[in-house]
Amino acid sequence: MQSPIIHASPYDWGQQNVRKVMMQVQMAATPAMLVHVYFYGIGILVQIAIGLAIALSAEAVMLKLRNKPLKPYLTDWSVVLTTIDIVFCLPPTSPWWIVALASLFAVVVAKHLFGGLGYNIFNPAMTGYAFVLLSFPAVMTVWHLPHHLVAAPLDAWQTIQLIFTGQLPANVALDALTGATPLEAARTGILNGQGLSSIYANEIVFAGQSFATSQFWLSMTFLAGGLWLLYKGVIRWQMPVGFIATIALLATAFNLYDAERYASASFHLLSGATLFAAFFIITDPVTGSTTPSGRLYFGMGIGALVYIIRTWGGYADAIAFAVLMMNMLVPWIDAMTIPRVYGHGVSKATGSPNERH
């Protein structure tokens, strides 16, 4: 069908547009970014700069190749959002080519080869992230420790040097700066036959001013940003609620069954990218379900998969794989969850929606 003429009702348009939607999501992520800088240094800002440069160039080239106009698509800000989603998942001091490759793969393969904005089946950020996670697992599991766990944190210049050249200052060893994340530490500990209580007692990431502090504050800022997005109507409640509730329920059930082997709900919710995913990743509209109950099932599915992979699978965190797997089910979920249309399925005699006919 060719595009119909635009000169027909309605003649009034709302204030919302794609740019504004994308900007609002970025604004919601800004406090978390500041907290990130506070705990881990300026690494994330450098990563964003690299990611943006690569992603925007890739977007421009792909648009050119696809004969699409540059201006409206480059300025829709969706690329910026993809980059931010990737960067928050990466270790802040990972080498520059990691974020470059992830952004490139996200924009070129996940987005444009599937038809560009609005047509991609898989979440571009998670596709890019999964690509580097599977290709370079060693680099990806080395997480930079928060500065209060490090004797001599890197300054800005040293951070940039580390990201671009892999060079550390002469007197600093990589081991002193990095460690396993709490999720990773717990997983490895359990695999080695330790109980959770002893892991919590012995591993450095759980010590006093722990890693968890930084993750707690990060999680709280993600939560605040997410609630603001909900209030603004940019995201809908079903996805985060389904996701968080599923993880919390599964974690609580298994934790009650065996607290030594299965971590508590709060550990699962405040570790890794859980709350970031709840409000910023799984809420990507393009690749998520579009019906009200479908959104709930979509969130619940991701939550269940995240818990299963974290607990019994091969990866410490599993947001990316869970999201990609649920992305595949979206067309089916959408088809199965068509809402009741006005005047359908109501009592024929009274029109009451509560009595079915």
Partner 1 sequence: MIIGRWIQQFDQWLNRLTTGVSFHGGVHPAQHKLISTHQPIQTPPLADKLIISLTQHVGPASIPLVEVGQRVLGGELIARCAPPLGVPLHASTSGVIVDIGDYPTSHPSGLPGPCIVLQPDGLHELKVFQPKDRPNSVQSLKAILLHAGIIGMGGAGFPSFRKIANKAGQIHTLIVNAAECEPYITCDDMLMRERPHEIIEGALITAHALGATKVIIGIEDNKPEAALAMRQYRPMPESDTHIQVEVTVVPTIYPMGSANQLITQLTGNEIPSDAHSTDLGLVMFNVATLAAVYRAVIIGKPVMSRVVTVTGFAIDKPCNVEVPIGTPFEHLVNWAGLQTPHAPWLMGGPMMGTPIHHPQTPVIKTSNCILVNLPEPESETLPCIRCGACMDACPINLLPQQLYWHAKAEALDKLEALHLKDCIECGCCAYVCPSQIPLVQYYRHAKVAVKKDKAEKDAQQRAKQRHEAQLARKEQEAREKAERLAAKRAAMMAAEQAENTANEAPKELT
Binding stretches for partner 1 (CB under 8 A): 1, 3-14, 16-18, 20-21, 72-73, 76, 78, 116-119, 233, 236, 238, 285-286, 288, 290-293, 295-296, 334, 337-344, 346-353, 357
* Closest approach of partner 1 to the CB of residue 54, in Å: 22
Backbone phi and psi for residue 280, each to the nearest 5 degrees, phi listed first: -115, -25
Is 257 or 342 the residue whose CB approaches partner 1 more closely? 342
Q: Which is nearer to partner 1, 268 or 295 (CB)?
A: 295
Which residue number, 18 or 168, has a Cβ lying nearer to partner 1?
A: 18
Q: Work out how close the CB of 24 gets to partner 1 at its nearest, in angstroms, rounded to a whole number.
A: 11
Which CB sits closer to partner 1, 23 or 53? Answer: 23
Nearer to partner 1, 157 or 237 (CB): 237
Structure tokens at 303: 């939550």
**Min CB(7)–partner 1 separation in Å:** 6
Q: Given the complex with partner 1, which of 137 and 339 has the nearer CB atom?
A: 339
Q: How far is the CB of 26 from partner 1 (least distance, A)?
A: 15
Q: How far is the CB of 330 from partner 1 (least distance, A)?
A: 9
**Smallest distance from partner 1 to CB 345, Å:** 9
